[in-house]
Structure 1
Amino acid sequence: MESVRTCVGCRTRAPRSALLRVVAVDSAVVPDTRASMPGRGAWVHETSECVESAIRRRAFVRALRASGPLDTQTIEKYLQRTKG
């Protein structure tokens, strides 16, 4: 049985394989496509709606327990590359 995670954008539960893990590296949100980077991670659907919702609600900052604002340009560029 596959483990289940909650998307920080839409707050729905989904299998781990359906979500993208992200981590904070030097105050930037970075996609962890292999889900193997060290540190605390957050899970989000690979859709612009979920990522934008997480950014708007500051969910990445809370989930990754960051002490300040996070740069989300890397994850936004990753989504544009994979979807467009």
Structure 2
Amino acid sequence: MPTDEEKTKANRLARAIASDISLYNEEKIVKGLEQDNLFDALEAELEEGRDLYRSRVSQELYRTSNFFDRAVVDIIVRSRGHVRSKIWL
């Protein structure tokens, strides 16, 4: 069972990866939100980020937590609430 410290580190890693995706793909993110295809637009970047995350945390922690998905929503999606999109309706 993962320790609290391992969970904290995994959460930080997930947020760092999501932050990098956000930083380097602003135009894709905005366009994906506007066209309601964000996850398709970022498919390669999210897959690469998820693979990196998976390679750096234990298999058990990867299977039992959703830190990466939560970081994607918090950092990439929620922070763009100002972008006009159908998803906010």
- TM-score relative to the length of structure 2: 0.33
**Which structure carries more helix by proportion?**
2
Larger Rg: 2
- TM-score relative to the length of structure 1: 0.35
